[in-house]
Chains A and B, each alone.
Chain A
């Protein structure tokens, strides 16, 4: 969906996985950016009809970019800064608790 502008200046990067696929981004980016940079339009399916959804507002308002981050369900991807090794996975329907 999105590509990063080439830059001549050095940028510190972080590598995360999106659905198991490694993606490298500048440090300071969000999990939602990682999602779209990985070409992944869909971050979750809704708990009601199972419809696919992806990041919409990118500013913490719409809650449509919910994903699983390092196993924790329903995280707002656009409000979560990436860390090295972060696992970003699709949130499927309602969260589960207690396994």
Chain B
């Protein structure tokens, strides 16, 4: 089971697949560990049995992903699906779970391509059954062709919200309403960056098509929505909100939330790589050189885990990171043309990103609950009020807030509460968001049974 690789890639999304393929071309011995049973990551979440009807609903970007997956499968890569990485050590040893057993591989260089997670949307009622993320609903569509059987209400902002609404439309599913929470004033901070967006003709056309189709299908879009609450006895029954000084209610058993995505920094933070605060995207991202290499030798990050750039950019970042790793490992014969092409493409994506990130920067009220009784840590059921109290008592960061309240101590290990808890601490203590230190996850990155940890084979290797 144990292996020695030049490059270990964690994550089989567009960045990871592209990096693994490029590194193989550069002559590295490459292995890839991915938690899912099939490659593609979440963006190209890959069904075991794709049907034409689902592919049709998903559109051409997804078809591109399917091609990428095919190329990846054909490449000479030690690909290990269904592998949940639970520890990455400073010397390049990686411990992972597969089929309930723990195993270890050794790599000379490690590339984290763990993508993004959806930003938590801690509104009252967000823990009720029947409330999911828009991304979660899209995963159901991608993997099994599932669409809501009653009109769902989509709440939030960002391109994915409109994409999924548009995909539902194409699939013939009804949409109750789209409640848009993004502040209108965002437009003014985004406008100076509009030229970057305009240079991305294809992207722009895509977005316009989604909105046009939604309009002609008379999908109800309500803009400038604030104070969203989900109500229901034991499950979601309705979503209520403020609009134009009036409280409104829409009955629905399915509420889909989305306020954009943030880098999945769980492993990069645990490794103690240097991170910086991205004030537009409102989360941390590892500080990297031009080749995706982190401050600690032997570690790189590519794709959305390095800052939200999107799927197209992820492929280019993956290619650059493969080159960065190859150079670090003393390889030459780089693909100069490929590198130049990737850098050119990234430049234009960056322009569009600058516009989109500002346009869809989430409203504060969707990130930081005003009401003290709103749950922020889903696992330990810790409320905003408890975190505020911890901050008043002197908690300057998540470590101490955790000690006072147990927030972040459940099985998700802080992934879903850290952004909210940080923001609450900043708010309560009058600090900037960047002044609250990032949370510091520790192994195991995902729960591992005592039996797997204690397994003799694993202990022999570890000892």
Contact = CB atoms under 8 A, between A and B. Distances in A.
Nearest to A13: B49
A51 B236 CA distance: 13
Interface stretch (B18-26, B273-281, B378-386, B396-404): B378-386
7 contacts: A1-B130, A3-B147, A3-B148, A26-B48, A41-B129, A52-B235, A58-B139
A88 to B, nearest CB: 15
Dominant SS at the A interface? loop
A27 B49 contact: yes
A60 interface: yes
B445 to A, nearest CB: 11
Contacts of B411: 63, 66, 74
A87 to B, nearest CB: 18
A1 B378 contact: no
B378 A36 contact: no
Chain A, interface size category, equals 35 or more
Contact of A61 (B117, B143, B380): B117
B234 interface: yes
A53 B160 CA distance: 24
A57 B128 CA distance: 13
Contact of B235 (A25, A26, A41, A49): A41
Interface in B190-248: 234-236
Given A33-B140, A59-B135, A62-B378, A54 B129 contact: yes
Interface stretch (B51-59, B63-71, B433-441): B51-59
B128 to A, nearest CB: 7
B454 to A, nearest CB: 16
Interface of A: 1-9, 11-12, 25-30, 33, 36-37, 41-43, 46, 48-49, 51-64, 66, 74, 79, 81
A4 B144 contact: yes
A36 B57 contact: no
Given A7-B52, A7-B145, A37-B146, A57 B117 contact: yes
Given A2-B147, A54-B130, 15 more contacts: A1-B149, A1-B150, A5-B51, A11-B51, A33-B140, A48-B380, A55-B136, A58-B136, A58-B139, A58-B140, A61-B264, A63-B412, A64-B127, A66-B411, A74-B411
Nearest to B141: A5
Residue of B136, B149, B234 ringed by the most chain A CB atoms within 10 A: B136
Given A36-B140, A54-B129, A57-B118, A28 B57 contact: no
Interface string B111-154: 00000011000000001111111011101100111111110000
Dominant SS at the B interface? loop
Contacts of B147: 2-3, 5
B171 interface: yes
Contacts of B171: 5
Contacts of B394: none
Nearest to B82: A81
A5 B132 contact: no
Contacts of A49: 381
Contacts of A60: 35, 446
A64 B171 CA distance: 28
Contacts of B157: none
Contact of B234 (A37, A52, A61): A52
Nearest to B46: A28
Nearest to A33: B144
A41 B412 contact: no
Nearest to A79: B35
Nearest to B56: A5
B143 A30 contact: yes
Contacts of B234: 42, 52
B410 interface: yes
B375 to A, nearest CB: 9
B47 interface: yes
Given A9-B51, A48-B380, A1 B254 contact: yes
A57 B133 contact: yes
A55 B132 contact: yes
Contact of A8 (B53, B144, B446): B53
Given A2-B149, A4-B145, A59 B129 contact: no
Nearest to B257: A56
Contact of A2 (B128, B131, B140): B140
A79 B99 CA distance: 12
Given A1-B149, A48-B381, A57-B133, A25 B144 contact: yes
Nearest to B171: A5
Contacts of B272: none
